[in-house]
Amino acid sequence: SQQGEEDPQALSIQEGENATMNCSYKTSINNLQWYRQNSGRGLVHLILIRSNEREKHSGRLRVTLDTSKKSSSLLITASRAADTASYFCYNFGNEKLTFGTGTRLTIIP
């Protein structure tokens, strides 16, 4: 399977700090999406960045895409306790692509 690799696997930061997580693929990146999952719940779509885009913003989220390095990063600024969750990237290249193991983010109040 063309599974993405998120890095780091786990991240703990103080509330108010910024959190950065990365995602890389061995295959080319097309439409890359980031999702959030609160414990045991379904994934929620955060943002989509297309292969011809290099950076995209949505509220406190900033996503960058480097197609030459086949990688993307998600930055969450001014973190809040409610941001505690797992974050997954998803690269659409063919219908069988799947999610990675995710980054577990813990915000310490």
**Selection from 72, 73, 67, 74 nearest residue 28 by Cα:** 67
Q: Is 45 in the site for another protein (CB under 8 A)?
A: yes
- In the bound state with another protein, the residue whose beta carbon lies nearer, of 3 and 20, is 3
- In the bound state with another protein, the residue whose beta carbon lies nearer, of 42 and 109, is 42
Q: Is 10 in the site for another protein (CB under 8 A)?
A: no
Burial of 20 (0-12, 13-18, 19+ CB in 10 A): middle
Q: Using CB under 8 A as the criterion, which residues of the chain lie in contact with another protein when the complex forms?
A: 1, 3, 30-31, 33, 35, 40-45, 48, 88, 90, 92, 95-102
